[in-house]
Amino acid sequence: KRLSIPATVSRMLKYIPELQLQVEILLQKKQQILSTICKQDDHDLSNQHHQNKTKLSDGFKVSPFTVSGTKVTDTEATIQISTFGPTSQGIPPLSPILRGLEEDGLFLTDASCFESFGGRVFYNLNFQVETTYNLEAMLLVLNEKLLSLYKKGKA
């Protein structure tokens, strides 16, 4: 049964305040979660800094990158790259990385980037790929390329 236009408008006018209330509740929950995360991050960051110093002093190498990926569909893949810091610390910019991926047959459809409280930068890249594409092999190659660019930036 279809509602008339005035009945539809009337229902929407009643429904919109309910949605606004739900949005307010969700925003309050988000603020609570963010404040909890900030407190945990401050504590975790000091612990992580101590652990990183311990790892380095024990002779272990800490990679400046973490690369992971998922094949979403036969023709889509998502790659996540996280780094320790911005380009001022020798981390390469995203543009040469994207050029290299396009040369390898990955075509960027969407990208986003954000920086966490600890100075860690996260790149989320969505690509169109061929159905026969080997994502695992590409992740290994990508990690090597990132390390190569990183070493060039440090030199």
Domain ranges across the chain: 1-61, 65-154
User: What is the structure's pLDDT at 69?
Assistant: 82
| pLDDT band, residue 19 (cuts 50/70/90) | very high
**Of the candidate ranges 51-65, 81-95, 116-130, the one whose mean pLDDT is the lowest:** 51-65
Does 16 have pLDDT greater than 80? Answer: yes
Question: What SS3 state is found at 22?
Answer: helix
Share of the chain above pLDDT 70, in %: 70
User: What is the structure's pLDDT at 85?
Assistant: 63
Contact status, residue 146 vs residue 140, Cβ threshold 8 Å: no
User: What is the structure's pLDDT at 57?
Assistant: 43
User: What is the structure's pLDDT at 20?
Assistant: 92
User: What is the structure's pLDDT at 40?
Assistant: 61
Question: Cβ of 1: how many Cβ atoms within 10 Å?
Answer: 2
Hey, which residues does 46 pair with through a beta bridge? none
What is 65-154's CATH number, 1.25.40, 3.90.320, 3.30.1360, 3.40.50? 3.30.1360
**Of the candidate ranges 12-16, 59-63, 103-107, 108-112, the one whose mean pLDDT is the lowest:** 59-63
Does 25 have pLDDT greater than 90? Answer: yes
Share of the chain above pLDDT 90, in %: 8
Whole-number average pLDDT of the chain: 74
The whole-angstrom distance between residue 52's C-alpha and the CA centroid of its chain comes to: 22
Question: Cβ of 118: how many Cβ atoms within 10 Å?
Answer: 13
Tens of pLDDT, residue by residue over 38-64, are 666 555 555 555 454 444 444 445 567
Contact status, residue 25 vs residue 33, Cβ threshold 8 Å: no
Order of all β-strands in the sheet with 107-115: 65-73, 76-83, 121-128, 107-115
Separation CA 57–CA 55 (nearest Å): 5
